[in-house]
């Protein structure tokens, strides 16, 4: 498998401005969230990037992408029909090739020095199949993520054969369908917002789209669930953490995490201590 | 010998661990019958060591039951002559605190030192029995917790952790700003057969192959009240614009706004315990949050959104308690289903549920029952499923939480019969032939379920065979349903009831039910196809199958006949309500939900809620509330002009009726109470004095006790006469002669209303048909008269039999005595004293709960009890401490004043004077309690009394663990009977070897002398009255708390503790001038039957058989 393209979806309701937020990167430079996301993609050796956006926002993204602007192609989602539909818009770009897919409301911090996207792409190439990055997540956060169920791949640490994917499951459903051996009690493998997907996914998205009325939305997780039944589909735990910047204080926490993993770690720690002492 | 001894234990352990059926199902009796004491003791030793080391809880439980049964039934027979033993106080305290293992260790240590005794065996039997049930209950709870889908709720300990969110559909308001409603309608379940109570969780987990039930989901209509059958349960959930959890029970007419998490776990605070249990089990406020002191607003902010709340409404359509249709479990299931739909925990938002969804709802309902401290069988949530189904126990396999622990899984499997298995025609025929009724009795089925569990786990031979027969009847019922033969179904359900069910548990039937069956048979003969017992026992919900051609007529006839029979029996059986007949239809959907933005709330909701809202100013109402009021108002106005809107037209009438005040009138109940008090010798002056003393703290539970300086010791051998051996036989002739000469009469004390027997329901205990003997249900009084008849037949003179009655028992007993065909003289001595119950003082309530020893309950039940006590304290304070208790039926407000008064009554009412005139040869009375079934005119015991010359000869028995409440003691060096209430220290009771049976032989002339009277002076009423007062003043007055049931609504019952006073007969032994002796008699003679749960052991240990031999049942 060769992965040379990436698709970032940024057309979600209330999400349009998130990737354009300013963030200080690990080196102390002020950049935008989308710029950092593209860094991830580039670190994985990918130079062709599609951004699925709301109509009329391409200029803003071009400005926000900084030095990466030339790598971008834009696909507009003119009617908000959900996450599944957004990805489907970039089908011509993928052109029957596997692709890396990221959501635009997450930021990633690697713990290993190797970018998260790079780690994921390496696994996908090695296993030659679709792979979604996952992160063990406590059940009280299930309402925010898609989650996968399945079984560990023998003798492969952090790699799982996916049997089910459920979007924002209740803990009741998760306990019945998504328990994965070896995970801590009450923890589930939730999607990391980063996937390498075979082009099969577009067929599934297309069928799903066709089965619904033109104004009905559909998400990606249902099609990932079908993908798991249709072909080998793995999940992998990466050496890194995702931060959902769409949540309350999400951007702040992501910023702190990035700063604490960067050059100004000591300064930020001192500031935090001072802040704590004053409050 | 030692080798053989080891073998018995080994054999029993082989039975416990056996996987295969023939060995596993060998009964204890088969192994232990005929064994000697040493062999039994050795077997106990082996079993004790086995159970301590067994890793598997079910093997432990079986070992515990075997140990219990050996100590309860086998060892006592071998321990004759070793009756008395010492029960260590610390062991008893451990038993009360549910530290059963420690209690067993303490009892065994004493047994090792002192050797075995019946007393110690009784203590060990109780401890083993309780530990066995505790282990079983713990196992079920653990399984419920570990059902997939339930576990997370125990990890969620704070609102911030709550992972559930309300479905967005419920948050979308309409143009008026009103939130939509999600409504769930659920049927109840009616079981064709439960294969001999095989749906008890423990049994399904022990023997899943035998756990099989057929039940149907049904809709109901009360005949003559509702137009057509409807799902009887309706629940609703909606968002409200106030940050509270509003819980509403329309049928119980109660609602509350919960504002904190602890309130949700306070079950007994109001009548909404079941709704709260559902909210918890559905995960809205998960069980892990118990103990979290958060505001409910924090939970709702996460679950619903900021400044919003949730309203959960339940409504049961006129089905009274005791319907045997599992209404509460299905209500719980319905509430849980609607809450789980609202939070996306099941896949269907509306319509019916999928099989997976039903299973998780059923698992949550079991959890809810555990949380709410109630219990049910595993078939009970059957109303969630559609149609008719076969529910079967499932063997636990790898991956199940039960695997390796129990043979069966907690949750059974459901097979819903399709139309090609049971045709639509058969279903229709069933509807056209079965008359479904509520007979009006409401009884606690709990003791029966314990008895069944015990018998099955012991593999009692006859019961195990009966179980197999019940299992085969279930197969035959299935066949009959498949072939559409309803007549065969009727025959089979009748055979099930008359055969295996009563062989396993005779107490599942009662006199009322059998009278109804006989009446059906004689009225409709072969058009009556059979009786159908529903649920755990008969008397409440029941079925009668008739030829469809006469079903309509039979329904009307049965309704009237049940009412007539109830009227005849209501004084002796615990009826909660008048009987009703139902129309029913099989529900083909199971539970189903509808979502509507315009739907109104369940019927009755507005009548309940609107009056309260109207009292508020419009500024105090939330926006939604104001709009809802306007909408209801508009609908009522529109209904006037539009005849189609009948529902709202009716609503406006009902609302007016509820809102506008009625003219004040004194209730007929309070007038009736005054009349009754006057008629029964109520002394208002003494009552006021009592109230003063209660309020002043001079009387009360703590004042019942003798001074702390009193010395209490066990009696010495010279203080008693032992009548258990053969030495008294030589005296028998004197006793026989006295009986022949008419020198002795029987006095049965029958003023009691069976408070413990019926948990405060109030029936004439003497006339309660408690047990079948010689093929018929017999009352306590019938049994005592049958003993007197036997005495007469044996000695040629029927003794005079006097029955002492009280205000509640006088009428029915007099009526019975008039018609009883007793060949001798039978007299009724009417009560002359009555008290008026009072609201207890806070001091006495706290003393009873905190200072007096009592059994700690199971964890959840204990929480319920604590919560109920807090509510009762508030009740007592709000009603006024020591004020008159008048908020109940007049008869329940009055109380008998203690059995000391029975003899004075005999003097005051002239019965004794008349009797002595008619029968001057009469010299002695044998006084006994109505529940001392073994008391008879035994010539040997009588002879001991005669030869002693004592004024009073009290019969005592060797004490067993359950014999609590005083006994025979040396008080400050003088032997006398002492009441448990009077013990200066409750631990002193453990020093006493003998328990008071209350049976007393009275030398009439000597007793009259104590009162300062003679036979002649009895005619002088004033003198007698003064004599009685004089002696009465010298005896202590005890304050006691009694539990009284108050019935309301549809068979609902509340139990209140009320204060009353009493003087007790045993205190006569404290008077120095009364010459007393104490005769130790065999236990079977002095044992009292106080609770229904004692019946089974009484039957099994041979006591019933021995007593039956004392009776002559020649009456019709």
Mean pLDDT of B546-572: 94
Structural element, H or E, at residue B246: strand B245-249
Position B190 pLDDT exceeds 60: yes
- Contact: B152, A186; criterion CB under 8 Å: yes
Tell me, yes or no, whether B667 lies in a domain.
no
Q: Output the six-digit token pair for B963.
A: 């014999």
pLDDT at B530 over 60: yes
CA distance A205 to B1076: 97
pLDDT-derived band at B375 (thresholds 50, 70, 90) equals low
SS3 B682: strand
pTM confidence score? 0.87
| Same-domain status, B640 and B691 | no
Would you place residue B961 in the very low, low, confident or very high pLDDT band (cuts 50, 70, 90)?
confident
Residues 6+ apart with CB under 8 A from B652: B636, B639, B640
In the structure, what pLDDT confidence band is assigned to residue B889 with cuts at 50, 70 and 90?
confident
CA B489/CA B483 separation, integer angstroms: 10
**In which band, very low, low, confident or very high, does the pLDDT at A90 lie, cut at 50, 70 and 90?**
very high
User: Are B495 and B622 found together in one domain?
Assistant: no
One domain, residues B766 and B859: yes
pLDDT (tens digit, 9 = 90+) per residue, B459-499? 999 999 999 999 999 999 999 999 999 999 999 999 999 99
Asked if residues A197 and A273 have their Cβ atoms less than 8 Å apart, the reply is: no
Number of domains observed in the structure of chain B: 4
Neighbouring C-beta atoms of residue B787, cutoff 10 Å: 24
B640 plus B732 within the same structural domain:
no
Q: Is B481 helix (H, G, I), strand (E, B) or coil?
A: helix
Q: What is the dihedral of CA B203, B205, B208, B213, to 10 degrees?
A: 60
- The rounded Cα B673 to chain-centroid distance in angstroms is 28
Tell me, what's the pLDDT at B663? 59
User: What pLDDT is attached to residue B923?
Assistant: 97
The structure tokens 């009329």 sit at: A56
Is B1030 within the bounds of a domain? yes
Mutate which of B144, B153, B163 to test chain A, going by most A C-beta atoms within 10 A?
B163
Inter-chain residue contact A139 with B356, CB threshold 8 Å: no
Extract the runs of DSSP E, i.e. beta strands, from B347-446.
Answer: 351-352, 388-392, 413-416, 434-438
Place B968 in a pLDDT band, splitting at 50, 70 and 90: very high
CA distance B1002 to B989: 26
C-alpha distances (whole Å) from B110 to each of B85, B103, B159, B963, B1067 are 9, 11, 51, 19, 32
Confidence at B1115, pLDDT banded by 50, 70, 90: low
The predicted pLDDT at position B647 comes to 66
Same structural domain, B1016 and B971: yes
Is residue B85, in this structure, part of any structural domain at all?
yes
Cβ–Cβ below 8 Å for B148 and A171: no
How distant, in Å, are the alpha carbons of B963, B965, B1085 from that of B931? 14, 16, 11
Q: Are B793 and B769 in contact (CB under 8 A)?
A: no
**Residue B134 forms part of a structural domain:** yes
Provide the total of helices (H) and of strands (E) in chain B, helices listed first: 41, 32
Which positions in chain B touch A171 (Cβ < 8 Å)? 152-153, 156, 163-164, 283
Q: What is the ipTM of this complex?
A: 0.86
What is the tally of structural domains in chain A? 1
Distance between CA A179 and CA A149 in Å, rounded? 6
Report DSSP state, residue B841: P
Which is more confident, A35 or B1091? A35
Same domain, B916 and B774: yes
The pair of structure tokens assigned to A42 is: 């580039």
Choose the mutation target among B145, B150, B152, B343 for the interface with A, i.e. most A CBs under 10 Å. Answer: B152
Last residue of a domain, one of B646, B665, B696: B646
Domain CATH number, residue A126: 3.90.550.10
Report the distance separating Cα B825 and Cα B915, nearest Å: 10
* Lowest-pLDDT range of B409-418, B447-456, B861-870: B861-870
Q: Among B148, B151, B344, select the one facing A170 at the smallest CB separation.
A: B344
Q: What pLDDT, on the 0 to 100 scale, is given for residue B1090?
A: 87
Residue B45, pLDDT score: 94
Reply yes or no on whether the pLDDT at B442 is more than 80: no
Average pLDDT over residues B773-799: 94
B632 and B708: one domain?
no
Taking an 8 Å cut-off on Cβ atoms, the answer to whether A171 and B164 are in contact is: yes
- Provide, rounded to the nearest whole percent, the portion of chain B with pLDDT above 90: 65
Residue B651 falls within a domain, yes or no?
no
Chain B partners within 8 Å of A141 (Cβ): 163
Q: Is B152 close to A143, i.e. CB distance below 8 A? A: no
Is A141 in Cβ contact with B149 (below 8 Å)?
Answer: no
Tell me how close the Cα of A172 comes to any Cα of chain B, in angstroms: 4
B207 domain residue, yes or no: yes
What does the pLDDT average to over B691-708?
91
Beta strand extents in B503-653 (DSSP E only):
528-533, 541-546, 580-586, 592-596
Q: In terms of pLDDT, which residue wins out, B421 or B410? A: B421
Tell me whether residues A171 and B163 touch, CB distance under 8 A: yes
Q: Is the pLDDT of residue B947 over 80?
A: yes
Angle between helices B355-371 and B118-146 (to 10 degrees): 140
Split at pLDDT 50, 70, 90, the class of B645 is low
B736 and B785 fall within a common domain: yes
Is the CB of A43 inside 8 Å of chain B's CB atoms?
no
Q: Please give the average per-residue pLDDT across B703-721, as a whole number.
A: 92
Sort out which chain A residues have CB atoms less than 8 A from B155's CB and list them.
139, 185-186
| Closest chain A residue to B360, measured at CA | A172
Buried b (16+ CB within 10 A) or exposed e, B399-410: ebbbeebbbbbb
Res. B840: pLDDT tops 50 = yes
Query: Does A142 contact B163 at a Cβ distance shorter than 8 Å?
Result: yes
Closest by CA position to B1024, among listed B917, B903, B895? B903
- The H-assigned helical ranges of B210-345 are 261-264, 273-281, 296-303, 327-342
Beta bridge partner(s), residue B596: B181
Q: What's the rounded Cα separation, in Å, for the pair A159 and A133?
A: 9
- For the cut 90, the answer to whether the pLDDT of residue B1005 exceeds it is yes
Taking any CB pair shorter than 8 Å as contact, residues of chain B touching chain A are 148-153, 155-156, 160-165, 283, 340, 343-346, 356, 360
Structural domain range at position B472:
193-215+380-582
Burial class (CB in 10 A: 0-12, 13-18, 19+), A92: exposed
Nearest to A224 by CA among A240, A238, A237, A235: A235
Give the model's pLDDT for residue B5: 47
**Same domain, yes or no, for B563 and B523?**
yes
B599, pLDDT greater than 80: no
- Section B770-774 average pLDDT: 89
Q: How far is B382 from chain A (nearest CA, A)?
A: 21
Contact of A151 with chain B, judged by CB distance below 8 Å, is answered with no
Range of the domain at A67: 5-278
Asked whether the beta carbons of residue A175 and residue B155 sit closer than 8 angstroms, the reply is no
The stretch B248-276 carries a mean pLDDT of 91
Residue B824: inside a domain: yes
**Which of B732, B826, B754, B829 has the alpha carbon at shortest distance from B786?**
B826
Cβ contact B611:B599 at 8 Å: no
Is the Cβ–Cβ distance between B622 and B199 less than 8 Å? no
The confidence score (pLDDT) of residue B85 equals 83
Q: Are residues B1014 and B901 in the same domain?
A: yes
- What tokens does B893 get? 């407000």
> Are residue B387 and residue B465 in the same domain, yes or no?
yes
Say what the pLDDT of residue B1116 is. Answer: 44
Task: Kindly tell me if the per-residue pLDDT of B554 is higher than 90.
Answer: yes
Smallest Cα–Cα separation from B933: which of B757, B1062, B814?
B757
Check if the beta carbon of residue B16 is closer than 8 Å to that of residue B459: no
Quote the pLDDT of residue B443: 79
pLDDT of residue B668: 61
* pLDDT confidence of residue A43: 95
Residue A112: CA count within 13 A, CB half-sphere: 11
- Cα angle value B775/B776/B778 (rounded, 5°): 130
Work out whether the CA dihedral B394, B399, B401, B402 comes out positive or negative.
positive
C-beta atoms surrounding B421 within 10 Å: 14
Q: Which of B149, B156, B340 sits opposite A175 (nearest CB)?
A: B149
Question: Is residue B751 located within the same domain as residue B886?
Answer: yes
Say yes or no to pLDDT of B665 above 60.
no
Confidence band, pLDDT 50/70/90 cuts, at residue B38 = very high
Residue B245 lies in a domain: no
Give backbone dihedrals phi and psi of B545, rounded to 5 degrees, phi first. -100, 130
Per-residue pLDDT band at B643 (split at 50, 70, 90): low
Instruction: Indicate whether B86 pLDDT > 80.
Output: yes
- Give the pLDDT mean for B349-378: 88
Residues from chain B that touch A185, judged by Cβ atoms under 8 A, are 151, 155
Please determine, for residue B3, whether its predicted confidence score (pLDDT) is greater than 80: no
The per-residue pLDDT of chain B, averaged, comes to 90
CA-based nearest distance B649→chain A, Å = 42
Residue B925, pLDDT score: 97
A-chain CB neighbours of B148 within 8 Å are 175-176, 179
Is B806 a residue whose pLDDT tops 70?
yes
* B898 Rama sector, left if φ>0, alpha if ψ -120 to 50, beta otherwise: left
Q: What is the pLDDT of residues B130-167, one digit of tens each?
A: 999 999 888 888 888 888 999 999 999 999 999 999 99
Angstrom distance (rounded) from CA B95 to CA B125: 11
Nearest to B148 among A170, A176, A185 (CB): A176
**If you average pLDDT over residues B623-644, what whole number do you get?**
81
pLDDT at B378: 84
Tell whether the model's pLDDT for residue B872 goes beyond 50: yes
Residue B1001 reports pLDDT greater than 60: yes
pLDDT of residue B616: 86
Predicted pLDDT at B1: 41
A205-222 pLDDT tens trace: 999 999 999 889 999 999
Say whether residue A166 is in contact with chain B using an 8 A CB cutoff: no
């Amino acid at each position: 498998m060769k992965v040379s393209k990436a698709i970032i979806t940024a057309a979600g309701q209330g999400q349009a401005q998130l990737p354009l937020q300013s963030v200080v990167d690990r080196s102390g430079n002020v950049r935008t969230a989308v710029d950092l996301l593209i860094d991830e993609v580039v670190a994985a050796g990918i130079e062709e990037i599609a951004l699925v956006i709301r109509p009329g926002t391409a200029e803003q993204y071009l400005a926000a992408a900084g030095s990466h602007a030339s790598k971008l192609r834009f696909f507009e989602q003119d009617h908000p029909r959900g996450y599944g539909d957004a990805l489907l818009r970039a089908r011509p770009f993928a052109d029957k090739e596997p692709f890396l897919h990221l959501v635009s409301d997450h930021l990633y911090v690697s713990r290993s020095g190797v970018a998260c996207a790079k780690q994921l792409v390496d696994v996908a190439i090695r296993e030659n199949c679709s792979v979604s990055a996952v992160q063990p997540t406590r059940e009280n956060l299930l309402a925010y993520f898609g989650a996968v169920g399945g079984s560990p791949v023998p003798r492969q640490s952090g790699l799982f054969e996916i049997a089910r994917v459920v979007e924002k499951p209740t803990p009741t459903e998760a306990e019945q369908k998504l328990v994965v051996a070896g995970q801590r009690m009450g923890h589930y493998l939730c999607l990391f917002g980063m996937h390498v997907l075979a082009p099969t996914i577009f067929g599934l998205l297309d069928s799903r789209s066709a089965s619904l009325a033109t104004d009905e939305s559909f998400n990606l997780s249902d099609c990932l669930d079908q993908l798991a039944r249709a072909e080998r589909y793995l999940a992998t735990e990466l050496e890194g953490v995702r931060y959902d910047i769409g949540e309350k204080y999400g951007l702040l926490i992501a910023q702190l995490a990035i700063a604490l993993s960067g050059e100004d770690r000591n300064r930020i720690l001192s500031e935090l201590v001072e802040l704590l002492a004053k409050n | 010998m030692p080798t053989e001894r080891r073998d018995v234990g080994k054999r029993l352990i082989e039975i416990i661990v056996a996987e295969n059926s023939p060995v596993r199902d060998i009964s204890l009796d088969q192994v232990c019958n005929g064994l000697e004491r040493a062999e039994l003791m050795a077997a106990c030793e082996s079993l004790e060591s086995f159970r301590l080391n067994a890793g598997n809880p079910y093997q432990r439980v079986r070992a515990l039951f075997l140990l219990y049964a050996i100590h309860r039934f086998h060892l006592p027979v071998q321990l004759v002559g070793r009756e008395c033993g010492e029960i260590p106080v610390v062991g008893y305290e451990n038993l009360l605190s549910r530290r059963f293992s420690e209690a067993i260790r303490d009892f065994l240590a004493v047994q090792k030192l002192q050797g075995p005794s019946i007393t110690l065996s009784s203590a060990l039997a109780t401890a083993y029995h309780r530990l066995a049930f505790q282990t079983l209950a713990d196992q079920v709870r653990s399984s419920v917790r570990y059902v997939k889908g339930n576990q997370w709720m125990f990890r969620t300990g704070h609102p911030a952790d709550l992972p559930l969110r309300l479905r967005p559909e419920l948050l979308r308001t309409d143009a008026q700003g009103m939130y939509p409603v999600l409504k769930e309608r659920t049927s109840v379940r009616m079981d064709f057969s439960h294969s001999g109570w095989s749906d008890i969780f423990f049994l399904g987990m022990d023997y899943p192959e035998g756990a099989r039930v057929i039940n149907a989901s049904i809709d109901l209509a009360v005949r003559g009240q509702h137009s057509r059958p409807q799902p009887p349960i309706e629940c609703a959930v909606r968002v409200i614009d106030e940050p509270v959890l509003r819980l509403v029970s329309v049928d119980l007419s109660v609602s509350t706004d919960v504002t904190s998490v602890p309130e949700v776990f306070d079950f007994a605070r109001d009548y909404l315990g079941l709704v709260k249990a559902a909210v918890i089990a559905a995960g809205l406020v998960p069980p892990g949050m118990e103990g979290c002191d958060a505001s409910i607003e924090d939970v709702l902010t996460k679950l619903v959104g900021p400044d919003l709340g949730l309203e959960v409404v339940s409504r049961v359509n006129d089905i009274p308690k005791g319907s045997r249709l599992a209404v509460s479990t299905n209500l719980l299931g319905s509430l849980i289903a609607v809450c789980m739909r609202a939070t996306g925990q099941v896949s269907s938002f509306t319509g019916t549920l999928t099989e997976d969804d039903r299973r998780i709802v059923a698992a949550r309902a079991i959890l809810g029952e555990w949380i709410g401290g109630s219990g049910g069988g595993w078939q009970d949530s059957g109303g969630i499923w559609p149609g008719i189904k076969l529910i079967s126990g499932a063997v636990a396999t790898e991956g199940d939480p039960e695997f390796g622990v129990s043979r069966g899984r907690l949750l059974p499997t459901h097979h819903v019969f399709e139309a090609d298995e049971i045709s639509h025609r058969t279903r229709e025929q069933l509807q056209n032939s079965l008359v479904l009724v509520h007979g009006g009795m409401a009884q606690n089925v709990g003791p029966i379920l314990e008895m069944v569990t015990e018998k099955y786990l012991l593999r009692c031979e006859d019961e195990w065979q009966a179980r197999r027969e019940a299992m085969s009847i279930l197969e035959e019922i299935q066949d009959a349903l498949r072939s559409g033969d309803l007549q065969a179904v009727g025959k089979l359900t009748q055979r099930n009831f008359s055969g295996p069910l009563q062989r396993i548990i005779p107490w599942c039937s009662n006199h009322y039910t059998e009278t109804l069956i006989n009446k059906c048979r004689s009225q409709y003969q072969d058009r009556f196809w059979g009786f159908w017992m529903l649920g755990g026992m008969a008397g409440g919900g029941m079925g009668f199958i008739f030829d469809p051609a006469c079903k309509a007529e039979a329904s009307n006839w049965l309704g009237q006949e049940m009412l007539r029979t109830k009227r005849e029996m209501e004084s002796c059986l615990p009826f909660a309500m008048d009987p009703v007949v139902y129309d029913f239809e099989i529900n083909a959907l199971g539970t189903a939900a509808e979502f509507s933005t315009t739907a109104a709330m369940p019927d009755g909701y507005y009548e309940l809620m609107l009056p309260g809202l109207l009292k508020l100013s419009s500024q105090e109402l939330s926006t939604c509330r104001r709009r809802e009021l306007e909408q209801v108002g508009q609908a009522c106005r529109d209904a006037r002009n539009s005849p189609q809107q009948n529902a709202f037209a009716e609503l406006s009438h009902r609302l007016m009726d509820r809102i506008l005040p009625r003219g004040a009138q004194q209730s007929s109940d309070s007038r009736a109470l005054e009349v009754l008090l006057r008629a029964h010798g109520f002394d208002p002056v003494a009552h006021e004095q009592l109230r003063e003393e209660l309020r002043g703290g001079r009387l009360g539970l703590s004042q019942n006790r003798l001074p702390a300086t009193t010395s209490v010791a066990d009696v010495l051998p010279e203080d008693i006469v032992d009548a258990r051996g053969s030495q008294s036989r030589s005296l028998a002739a004197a006793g026989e002669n006295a009986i022949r000469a008419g020198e002795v009469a029987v006095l049965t004390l029958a003023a009691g209303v069976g408070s413990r027997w019926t948990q405060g329901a109030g029936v004439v205990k003497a006339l309660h048909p408690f047990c079948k003997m010689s093929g018929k249900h017999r009352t306590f009084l019938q049994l005592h008269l049958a003993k007197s008849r036997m005495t007469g037949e044996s000695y040629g003179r029927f003794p005079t039999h006097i029955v002492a009655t009280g205000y509640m028992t006088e009428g029915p007993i007099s009526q019975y005595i008039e018609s009883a065909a007793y060949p001798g003289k039978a007299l009724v001595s009417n009560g002359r004293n009555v008290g008026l119950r009072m609201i207890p003082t806070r001091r006495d309530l706290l003393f009873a709960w905190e200072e007096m020893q009592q059994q700690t309950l199971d964890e959840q039940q204990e929480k319920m009890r604590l919560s109920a006590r807090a509510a009762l304290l508030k009740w007592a304070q709000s009603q006024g401490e020591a004020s008159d208790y008048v908020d109940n039926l007049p008869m329940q407000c009055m109380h008998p004043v203690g059995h000391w008064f029975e003899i004075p009554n005999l003097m005051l009412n002239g019965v004794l004077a008349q009797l002595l005139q008619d029968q001057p040869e009469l010299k002695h009375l044998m006084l006994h309690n109505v529940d001392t079934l073994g008391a008879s005119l035994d010539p040997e015991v009588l002879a001991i009394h005669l030869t002693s010359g004592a004024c009073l000869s009290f019969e005592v028995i060797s004490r067993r663990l359950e014999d609590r409440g005083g006994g025979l003691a040396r008080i400050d060096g003088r032997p006398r009977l002492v009441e448990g209430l009077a013990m200066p220290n409750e631990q002193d009771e453990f020093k006493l070897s003998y328990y008071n049976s209350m049976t007393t032989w009275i030398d009439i002339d000597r007793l009259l002398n104590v009162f300062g009277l003679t036979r002649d002076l009895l005619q002088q009423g004033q003198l007698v009255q003064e004599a009685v007062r004089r002696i009465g003043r010298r005896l202590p007055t005890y304050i006691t708390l009694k539990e009284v049931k108050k019935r309301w609504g549809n068979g609902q019952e509340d139990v209140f503790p009320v204060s009353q006073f009493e003087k007790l007969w045993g205190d006569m032994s404290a008077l120095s001038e009364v010459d007393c002796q104490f005769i130790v008699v065999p236990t079977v003679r002095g044992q009292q039957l106080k609770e229904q749960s004692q019946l089974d052991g009484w039957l099994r240990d041979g006591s019933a058989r021995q007593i039956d031999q004392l009776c002559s049942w020649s009456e019709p």
